[in-house]
């Protein structure tokens, strides 16, 4: 349904070119869920912005049902803007404080169709019901709700124009831990019920493991490892994925964080390290690493990892 | 033994409608008086504001020695009734404020929104214009315009609009630049909402606070600006009456007859302060987050 083909995004700044995204490819089948994970600053949100047409790729193409979204004809573009909706991270910034909830939810509907007053009210009540809020919520302002409720409103708003693809940019990371599960379950129920496709941006691996069918681990604008969630989590092949998984805290007092954990900070996208961008932090780095960028290597069906170690062992 | 707790009967009181509770009545009153005088014309004045009576000149306010109830706030150097002149002068002040604030606010808000939202070349052009405008001293601008146009009410308004639109534009531009990065604006763009709708529904209501504050702050500045222009002879001309002109005329009697300059000064102060208080209240009323407090 959604395909990214070697998309790049470079920002020119006074201090040089920031290579936020560098040749990322993925494909997301209908009704699938793809999670983009990585540290902050790795370019995952930029990818989401390009899918949402808030940013233009510097290179490569994003295709929706085989059609490049950058060169879509007007009508298809208009349809794309209805069929693809978004839920953003911060429910305090994503709802206009000046508008009543009903008006907020009506907005994406009214951008594409002109239902009558009664029909509109009915649809607002419907989506509010789907996210578990009473119809009376439509008359209130956003500030009268808690963070979790606001995120439900944001989900209701995204659902209102009956989309097919939802881009979820860290949908629960701004919420209290206690209500994250509720919101995630809600999103999963909605996906099952309406057959939605999800592109989710996350940094929380535990969340990704339960929520998405496939995962792409991004490091400094490049895909380090990608594949179906099960194999990637069970048998991570890229040292970065291994480090991320090793860093996930377990509710076990005897659990010791392993050595594999990546040392230091993520490098700057302004001056990325040569070759494999991960090599300065990698415990297994060897001569080939700073020399060239490792190409993606298929380790199993649909499971790829970009690491020189894999090249060596398979050579 | 049962303890009886005295419960006071709820006092039956006629409640005001919610939106009027806590309104600044005094500020309302002052501004109403100014507005009534502004539209009421000469008929409601206690005395002829231009009636010369040199025999009755320099009469102090009624409470001072030699004061008279016929001239509550005293008379000026030509024996004209000061209260009548202040009330008559409110007309000019109200007209100048209304037009100057309306036009500079609208032009500034439009320019600021365009520059902030569209950025790029629109922003660059508008910002250069603003910088050019702000580098010209407003008094010099007034001199040029007065030479070209004839000093008077229209010139005063044009000068104030030309001086202040850039002030609005700059502040609104900054505000819009922050707002357009908000996720609700991003969401609207993602959902395919048109640019005019985004500007009107998402940006305008959120800069309204700022506009109201700027406008009420400007009331005082406009009155004083009109006063300095009239003082320099570039603004309102005799026999028209304005508060600024009254201050200018009274300047030379500041040591001998204090009330000549104090009375219009108090009028200016009360009006400015009332406008600011009203603006604060209005801002709180218009903000749904503060409305329920």
Query: Among A178, A219, A2, A201, which Cα is nearest to A89's?
Result: A201
ipTM confidence score: 0.86
Distances (CA, A) of A37 to A44, A264, B178, B184, B233: 7, 18, 28, 24, 70
Whether pLDDT at A135 is above 60: yes
Nearest to B171 by CA among B216, B116, B219: B116
Q: For residue A189, is it left (φ>0), alpha (ψ between -120 and 50) or beta?
A: alpha
Contacts of A85 in chain B (CB under 8 A): 190-191
Report chain B residues whose CB lies below 8 A from the CB of A51: none
Specify whether the CB–CB gap between B97 and B183 falls below 8 A: no
Contact B186 A54 (CB under 8 A): yes
Mean pLDDT of all residues belonging to chain B: 85
Does position A313 have pLDDT exceeding 80, yes or no? Answer: no
Pairing of strands A84-87, A165-169: parallel
The partner residue sitting opposite A54, judged by closest CB among B190, B192, B205, is B190
Q: How many residues does chain A have?
A: 315
Res B293: pLDDT: 46
Nearest chain A Cα distance for residue B203, angstroms: 9
Q: Is residue A198 classed as helix, strand or coil in its secondary structure?
A: strand
Across the interface, whether the CB atoms of B289 and A161 are under 8 A apart is answered no
Please check the confidence at residue B89 and state whether its pLDDT lies above 70: yes
Please provide the distance, in angstroms rounded to a whole number, between the alpha carbons at the two ends of chain B: 42
Q: How far is A285 from chain B (nearest CA, A)?
A: 40
Q: A79, A88, A107: which to substitute to probe chain B, counting the most B Cβ within 10 Å?
A: A107
> CB under 8 Å to B90, separation ≥6 — which residues?
B33, B34, B37, B38, B243, B267, B271
Query: Is pLDDT at B210 greater than 80 in this prediction?
Result: yes
- pLDDT over 60 (residue A259): no
A&B contacts, CB < 8 Å: 69
Distance CA B272, CA B266 (A): 10
Mean pLDDT over A127-134 rounds to 95
Instruction: Pick the closest to residue B162 from B216, B81, B229, B249 (CA basis).
Output: B229
CB–CB contact A96 B205 (8 Å) = yes
Order of strands across the sheet that contains A16-28: A16-28, A2-13, A59-64, A67-68
| Secondary element (H or E) of residue A19 | strand A16-28
Distance of CA A306 to the CA centre of its chain: 20
In B, which residues are within 8 Å of A108 by CB distance?
A: 187, 191-193
Q: Does residue B168 contact residue B109 with C-beta atoms inside 8 Å?
A: yes
Please, where in chain A does CATH 3.40.50.300 lie? 2-212
DSSP assignment of B41-72, as one string? Answer: GGGG-SS-TT---GGGTTPPPTTSTT-BTTBT
Of B187, B205, B289, nearest to A88 by CB-CB distance is: B187
pTM here is 0.81
Residue B11 scores a pLDDT above 60 = no
Question: Looking at A139-153, A192-206, A280-294, which range is the least confident one?
Answer: A280-294
Q: Kindly report the average pLDDT of chain A as a whole number.
A: 89
Task: Give A312's pLDDT tier (boundaries 50, 70, 90).
Answer: low
Question: Which candidate from B186, B191, B205 shows the least CB-CB separation from A88?
Answer: B186
Residue A52 pLDDT exceeds 50: yes
- Tell which wins on pLDDT, A126 or B139: A126
Best residue of B189, B190, B196 to probe chain A, by most A CBs closer than 10 Å: B190
Domains recognised in chain B with CATH numbers: 23-36+70-291 (1.10.3720.10)
Q: pLDDT class for B4, splitting at 50, 70, 90?
A: low
Nearest-CA distance A83 → chain B (Å)? 9
Instruction: Write the residue in A85, A112, A143 that is nearest to B190 by C-beta.
Output: A85
Sign of CA dihedral B87, B89, B93, B98: positive
> Is the CB of A82 less than 8 angstroms away from the CB of B192?
yes
Q: What is the CATH class of A2-212?
A: alpha beta
Q: Which residues of A touch B193 (CB under 8 A)?
A: 107-108, 111
């Amino acid at each position: 349904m959604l395909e990214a083909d070697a998309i790049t995004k470079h920002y020119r700044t006074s201090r040089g070119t920031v290579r936020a995204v560098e040749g990322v490819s993925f494909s997301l089948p209908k009704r699938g869920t793809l999670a983009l994970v990585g540290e902050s600053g790795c370019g995952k949100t930029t990818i989401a912005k390009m899918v949402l047409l808030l940013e233009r790729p510097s290179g490569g193409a994003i295709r929706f049902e085989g059609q490049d979204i950058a060169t879509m004809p007007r009508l298809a573009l208009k349809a794309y803007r209805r069929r693809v909706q978004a839920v953003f991270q911060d429910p305090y910034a994503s709802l206009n404080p000046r508008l009543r909830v009903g008006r907020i939810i009506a907005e994406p509907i009214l951008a594409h169709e002109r239902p009558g007053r009664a029909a509109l009210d009915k649809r607002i009540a419907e989506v509010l019901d789907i996210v578990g809020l009473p119809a009376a919520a439509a008359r209130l302002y956003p500030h009268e709700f808690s963070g979790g409720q606001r995120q439900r409103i944001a989900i209701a708003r995204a659902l209102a124009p009956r989309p097919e693809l939802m881009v979820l940019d860290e949908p629960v990371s701004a919420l209290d831990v206690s209500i994250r599960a509720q919101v995630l379950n809600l999103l999963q129920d909605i996906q099952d019920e309406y057959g939605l496709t999800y592109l989710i941006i996350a940094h929380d691996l535990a969340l990704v493991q339960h929520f998405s069918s496939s995962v792409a681990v991004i490091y400094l604008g490049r895909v380090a490892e990608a594949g179906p969630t099960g194999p990637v989590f069970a048998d991570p092949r890229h040292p970065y994925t291994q480090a991320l998984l090793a860093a996930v805290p377990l509710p076990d007092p005897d659990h010791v964080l392993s050595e594999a954990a990546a040392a230091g900070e993520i490098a700057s996208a302004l001056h990325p390290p040569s070759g494999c961008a991960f090599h300065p932090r990698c415990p297994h780095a060897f001569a080939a690493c700073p020399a060239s960028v490792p190409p993606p290597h298929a380790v199993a069906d649909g499971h790829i990892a970009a690491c020189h170690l894999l090249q060596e062992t398979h050579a | 033994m049962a303890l009886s707790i005295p419960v006071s009967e709820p006092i039956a009181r006629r409640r005001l409608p919610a939106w009027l509770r806590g309104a600044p009545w005094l500020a309302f009153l002052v501004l109403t008086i100014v507005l009534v005088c502004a539209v009421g014309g000469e008929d409601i004045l206690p005395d002829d504001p231009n009636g010369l009576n040199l025999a009755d000149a320099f009469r102090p306010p009624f409470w001072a020695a030699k004061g008279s109830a016929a001239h509550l706030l005293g008379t000026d150097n030509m024996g004209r009734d000061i209260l009548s002149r202040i009330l008559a002068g409110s007309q000019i002040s109200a007209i100048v404020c209304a037009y100057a604030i309306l036009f500079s606010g609208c032009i500034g808000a439009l320019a600021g929104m365009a520059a902030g939202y569209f950025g790029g070349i629109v922003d660059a052009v508008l910002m250069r214009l603003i910088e050019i405008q702000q580098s010209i001293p407003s008094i010099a601008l007034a001199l040029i315009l007065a030479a070209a146009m004839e000093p008077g009410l229209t010139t005063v308004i044009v000068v104030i609009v030309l001086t202040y639109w850039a002030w609005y534009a700059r502040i609104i531009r900054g505000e819009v630049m922050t707002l357009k990065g908000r996720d609700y604006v991003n969401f609207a763009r993602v959902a395919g909402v048109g640019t005019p709708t985004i500007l009107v529904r998402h940006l305008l209501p959120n800069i309204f606070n700022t506009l109201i504050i700027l406008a009420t702050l400007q009331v005082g500045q406009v009155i004083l600006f009109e006063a300095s222009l009239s003082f320099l002879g570039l603004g309102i001309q005799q026999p028209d009456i304005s508060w600024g002109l009254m201050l200018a005329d009274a300047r030379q009697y500041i040591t001998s007859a204090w009330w000549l300059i104090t009375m219009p000064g108090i009028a200016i102060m009360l009006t400015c302060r009332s406008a600011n208080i009203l603006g604060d209240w209005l801002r709180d009323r218009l903000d749904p987050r503060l409305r329920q407090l």
